[in-house]
């Protein structure tokens, strides 16, 4: 395959109408200039992953409607048991970071991030597919959503006290310049959080995808099991890191003023 292309590229070339619609859609959303369909691959793949996650959630929820059957664990690993184990693990992570009460309240955003990022990352292990999380536009979109939500939760929980704690402890009239300096540093560190979230995830997944592609090209006849195992480890670790930091940011933002 040509560099930086996937099966979606060939799908758009096989069906010219899809390519034309992608050009028009990209020009409408991004700029007035024509946008290559190749540049829309990460967004298109991310949309497919989001639809898959929604379908998976609807499927599992349909199986949990019967309390008698859902209370009995299945003997084999099925879609339902996988989702239960997966969601339960990340709920425990959120509970350890935020506490049971906050975890129950704010877990939907952590769980949604976990499912979307995991299945986006896992696409990198499929030959011919590129993970959308190897694109900065996708990871930055996820990080900005987390940024907006944890600031919203902080303002909703603490009101003006959320902004007040950015100034640090009151040092008296003579300490006003120092309080202003603390405010600038706190605002800067808060605004850097989404950038660090996005760049960390994007770089790790892009490098992992490149390394995996190289090994697959060199050892196409021999299944590169070690590379796949390492890739799966990277997929899981990067999902955990993103969700762990999300839980930390929400937990810090929703602490009451006296706790800061």
Of 62-66, 149-153, 209-213, 226-230, the range with the highest mean pLDDT is 149-153
In this prediction, residue 1 carries a pLDDT of 37
Instruction: Give the total number of structural domains in the chain.
Output: 1
> Is 18 inside any structural domain?
no
Q: Are 134 and 122 in contact (CB under 8 A)?
A: no
Segments forming the whole domain that contains residue 122: 58-259
Radius of gyration of the chain (CA): 22
Top-confidence residue, 32 or 180: 180
> Is 33 inside any structural domain?
no
CA–CA separation, 239 vs 259, rounded Å? 29
Q: pLDDT confidence of 158, banded at 50, 70, 90?
A: confident
Q: Is the pLDDT of residue 260 over 50?
A: no
How large is the average pLDDT for residues 12-29? Answer: 55
> Is 99 inside any structural domain?
yes
Q: Are 103 and 109 in contact (CB under 8 A)?
A: no
**Residue 12: which H helix or E strand, with range?**
helix 7-14
> Is 20 inside any structural domain?
no
> Is 2 inside any structural domain?
no
> Is 31 inside any structural domain?
no
CA–CA separation, 187 vs 167, rounded Å? 9
In this prediction, residue 241 carries a pLDDT of 95
Q: Which long-range contacts (CB under 8 A, 24 or more apart) does 23-29 make?
A: none
Q: Are 235 and 227 in contact (CB under 8 A)?
A: no
Handedness of CA 160, 164, 170, 172 (dihedral sign): negative
> Is 47 inside any structural domain?
no
Lowest-confidence pick of 19-28, 100-109, 170-179: 19-28
In this prediction, residue 2 carries a pLDDT of 40
């Amino acid at each position: 395959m040509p560099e930086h292309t996937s099966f979606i590229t060939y799908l758009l070339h096989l069906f010219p109408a899809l390519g034309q619609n992608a050009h028009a859609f990209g020009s409408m959303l991004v700029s007035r200039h024509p946008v290559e369909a190749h540049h829309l691959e990460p967004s298109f793949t991310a949309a497919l992953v989001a639809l898959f996650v929604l379908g998976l959630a609807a499927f599992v929820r349909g199986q949990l409607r019967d309390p008698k059957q859902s209370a009995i664990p299945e003997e084999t690993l099925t879609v339902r048991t996988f989702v239960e184990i997966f969601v339960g693990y990340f709920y425990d992570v959120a509970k350890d970071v935020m506490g049971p009460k906050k975890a129950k309240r704010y877990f939907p955003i952590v769980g949604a991030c976990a499912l979307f990022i995991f299945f986006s990352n896992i696409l990198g292990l499929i030959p011919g597919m590129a993970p959308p999380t190897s694109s900065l536009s996708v990871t930055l979109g996820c990080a900005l959503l987390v940024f907006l939500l944890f600031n919203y939760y902080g303002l909703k929980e603490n009101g003006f006290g959320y902004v007040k704690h950015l100034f640090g402890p009151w040092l008296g009239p003579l300490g006003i310049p120092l309080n202003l300096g603390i405010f600038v540093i706190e605002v800067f560190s808060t605004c850097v959080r989404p950038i660090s979230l996005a760049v960390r995830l994007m770089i790790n997944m892009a490098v992992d995808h490149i390394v995996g592609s190289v090994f697959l090209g060199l050892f196409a006849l021999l299944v590169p099991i070690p590379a796949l195992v390492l890739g799966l480890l990277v997929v899981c670790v990067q999902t955990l890191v993103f969700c762990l930091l999300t839980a930390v940011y929400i937990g810090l933002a929703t602490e009451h003023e006296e706790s800061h």
